């Protein structure tokens, strides 16, 4: 399967400190890939490199065959940051319709996107008055409007209740079935099993780049959280004996 995202030997330094130590990974087209790792492991930094807003020390990041951040990718790559990027003084519906208008889309498409993220009931509410989880869903609705080929979501399920989280993951898979490639970061390991592929990252190094089934087999356990811990321990003992 063709790769929508290809990262080779990526090294990034932030604040004079190396935070990504030569990451190499790929995300196949039309899959939901989970980027999982503890807080501070480098997920946001890797995402920033993929969407082309991170200065990199060395290595290459290619998205849809183009260097990350290059002008042809601007309309093709959607990015939802951890901080919601919608207008607080507009309602959810107004935000979605505004972004839809920028893409030349009718209001009905905006209203459908709002409903798709479970915000139909809050469509008339000002973003300023929404909960954190609702606000990030409003950002997601706006990011989905441009129908990007690659959609990168930084911790989209933080602050969402369990029912909504299940619905959001179902929606990610619907988008992937229509050909969108999704990279979704999370530090919640119980979301790992919902991904087609997993990128497990720890302290700026990739521990695994595989399907959940292959990660389970490699670690010899069905529990992905335990699998992650085992892979880390294996890596650490290999480093000690090296
Ligand atoms: N602007 C910055 N200047 C210096 N160091 C930074 C900066 N932003 C992040 N870092 C450091 O880079 C490392 C990776 O951070 P990053 O935000 O990529 O992690 P993360 O896995 O996304 O964490 P979280 O899940 O908490 O968002 C951390 O050690 C962090 O302290």
Which residue, by CA, sits nearest to atom 7 of ligand 1? 14
Q: How many CA atoms does the CB half-sphere of 199 hold within 13 Å?
A: 29
Give burial (CB, 10 Å; 0-12/13-18/19+) of 235.
middle
Other beta carbons less than 10 A from residue 17's beta carbon: 8
| Reported ipTM exceeds the 0.90 cut | yes
Confidence of residue 242 (pLDDT cuts 50, 70, 90): low
Are the C-beta atoms of 12 and 160 separated by less than 8 Å? no
The shares of helix, strand and coil residues in the chain, as percent rounded to the nearest 5, are 40, 25, 30
Residue 238 has pLDDT above 90, yes or no: no
- pTM: predicted TM-score of the whole model, two decimal places: 0.90
Q: Residue with the nearest Cα to atom 30 of ligand 1?
A: 40
Which of 40, 155, 187, 228 has most ligand 1 atoms within 8 Å of CB, for mutation? 40
Helix, strand, or coil (residue 220): coil
CA dihedral of residues 134, 138, 141, 143 (deg, nearest 10): -130
Taking only the tens place, the pLDDT of each residue in 158-171 is: 878 888 888 888 88
Kindly give, in sequence order, each residue whose CB lies less than 8 Å from that of residue 235, ignoring residues fewer than 6 positions away: 205, 207
* CA distances in angstroms from 84 to 58, 70, 141, 143, 216, listed in the order given: 30, 24, 11, 11, 34
> Given this model, what pLDDT does residue 24 score?
97
Mutate to test the pocket of ligand 1, among 12, 14, 53 (most ligand atoms within 8 A of CB): 14
Burial class (CB in 10 A: 0-12, 13-18, 19+), 135: buried
Q: Is 93 in the pocket of ligand 1 (CB under 6 A)?
A: no
User: CB of 21 closer than 6 A to ligand 1?
Assistant: no
Could you read off the pLDDT of 136-151 as tens digits, one per residue?
A: 889 989 988 888 999 9
d(CA 62, CA 49): 10
Q: Is 47 in the pocket of ligand 1 (CB under 6 A)?
A: no
CB of 156 within 6 A of ligand 1: the answer is no
CB of 157 closer than 6 angstroms to any ligand 1 atom: no
215-229 CB burial, b ≥16 within 10 A, e <16 = bbeebeeeebeebbe
The confidence score (pLDDT) of residue 1 equals: 54
**What are the tens digits of pLDDT across the range 39-96?**
899 999 999 999 999 999 999 999 999 999 999 998 899 998 888 789 999 999 999 9
Predicted pLDDT of residue 83: 82
């Amino acid at each position: 399967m063709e790769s929508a995202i290809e990262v080779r030997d990526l090294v990034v330094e932030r604040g004079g400190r190396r935070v990504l130590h030569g990451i190499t990974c790929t995300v196949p087209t039309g899959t939901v890939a989970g980027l999982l790792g503890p807080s501070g492991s480098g997920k946001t930094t890797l995402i920033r490199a993929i969407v082309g807003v991170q200065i990199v020390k060395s290595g290459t990041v290619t998205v849809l065959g183009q260097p990350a951040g290059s002008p042809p990718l601007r309309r093709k790559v959607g990015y939802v940051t951890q901080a919601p990027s919608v207008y607080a003084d507009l309602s959810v519906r107004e935000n979605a319709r505004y972004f839809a208008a920028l893409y030349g889309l009718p209001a009905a498409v905006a209203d459908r996107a709002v409903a798709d993220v479970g915000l139909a009931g809050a469509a008339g509410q000002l973003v300023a008055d929404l909960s954190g989880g609702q606000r990030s869903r409003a950002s997601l609705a706006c990011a989905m409007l441009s129908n990007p080929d690659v959609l990168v979501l930084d911790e989209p399920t933080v602050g969402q209740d369990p029912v909504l989280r299940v619905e959001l993951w179902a929606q990610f898979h619907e988008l992937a079935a229509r050909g969108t490639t999704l990279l979704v970061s999370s530090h919640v390991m119980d979301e790992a099993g919902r991904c087609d592929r997993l990128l497990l990252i720890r302290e700026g190094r990739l521990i695994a780049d595989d399907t959940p089934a292959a990660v389970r087999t490699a670690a010899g356990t069905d529990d992905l959280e335990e699998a992650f811990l085992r892979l880390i321990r294996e890596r650490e003992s290999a480093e000690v004996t090296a």
